Amino acid sequence: MRTFTIDSDHNITVFASAEEAGQQTGAERFHSADQFAVLAEPWPAGRLVEIWNRLAGVQPVKKFTDRKTGIARIWKAIQSLQLAGAASEAKGGNARSRKPRQHTSSKNTKAAQVVALLKQPSGASLKSLMKATGWQAHSVRGFLSGHLRKKLGLRVKSFQRNGERVYAIRG
């Protein structure tokens, strides 16, 4: 029966048997979703988020809707881990650290045009962003929130100037 271990650094390793898993010191063991749920019950919610965000190939999250959702998603994701020893990574397949995304863009893209407009000292109005991109207002706002803030991690400031919505990238 496949047995999983989790250490204090949030590394989850999968073993072919409980005997193999028992050889790993300083780690807690579980082999079912129910056991994982019991194990995770006293953990702060932030630990579930850290565990999730360390798994390879998952979309990082800031929080889960609730503990049950976090546990279920982690359990489902770890089912595809390679057995210890079979994986090329020393810590069981999920120990890869995430690297922050680098902002690489061409000046010809709409994203680059928006960033350039927002970096102006006075920022850019919603109307000017709509005109530059040809997008509707809701598309511009979605791009600012989803792409610039969440994906690229840029700090976008929003304020009113002369009754008009203005955005700028904070230093």
Q: How confident is residue 160, by pLDDT bands cut at 50, 70 and 90?
A: very high
pTM above 0.85, yes or no: no
Convert the pLDDT of each residue in 133-150 to its tens digit.
Answer: 999 999 999 999 888 888
In this structure, the answer to whether residues 74 and 8 fall within a common structural domain is yes
Report the interhelical angle of 33-40 vs 67-78 (nearest 10°).
Answer: 130
Q: By C-alpha distance, which of 108, 105, 106, 115 is closest to 167?
A: 115
Convert the pLDDT of each residue in 1-41 to its tens digit.
Answer: 788 888 888 888 888 888 877 777 778 888 889 999 999 88
Q: How confident is residue 131, by pLDDT bands cut at 50, 70 and 90?
A: very high
- Please give the pLDDT value at position 100: 45
Domain membership of residue 129 (yes or no) is yes
End-to-end CA distance of the chain: 53
- Of the candidates 78, 99, 131, which is a domain's last residue? 78
Convert the pLDDT of each residue in 87-124 to its tens digit.
Answer: 433 344 444 444 444 444 455 788 888 888 999 889 99
Three-state SS for 30? strand
Domain membership of residue 86 (yes or no) is no
Convert the pLDDT of each residue in 35-94 to its tens digit.
Answer: 999 998 888 888 899 888 888 888 888 988 898 999 999 999 888 877 765 443 334 444
Three-state SS for 117? helix
Sheet with 27-30, strands from edge to edge, namely 12-15, 3-7, 27-30
List Cα–Cα distances, 127 to 98, 105, 131, in angstroms: 37, 23, 6
In this structure, the answer to whether residues 128 and 68 fall within a common structural domain is no
141, 153 contact by CB (below 8 A): no
In this structure, the answer to whether residues 7 and 71 fall within a common structural domain is yes
In this structure, the answer to whether residues 117 and 163 fall within a common structural domain is yes
- Of the candidates 78, 102, 121, which is a domain's last residue? 78
Q: Indicate which CATH number applies to the domain containing 124.
A: 1.10.10
In the chain, how many domains are there?
2
Sheet with 124-125, strands from edge to edge, namely 124-125, 164-169, 156-161
In this structure, the answer to whether residues 7 and 72 fall within a common structural domain is yes
- Please give the pLDDT value at position 90: 37
In this structure, the answer to whether residues 48 and 8 fall within a common structural domain is yes
- Please give the pLDDT value at position 130: 93
Q: 146 lies in which domain range?
A: 110-169
Domain membership of residue 37 (yes or no) is yes
In this structure, the answer to whether residues 69 and 115 fall within a common structural domain is no
- Of the candidates 58, 78, 98, which is a domain's last residue? 78
107, 117 contact by CB (below 8 A): no
Domain membership of residue 159 (yes or no) is yes
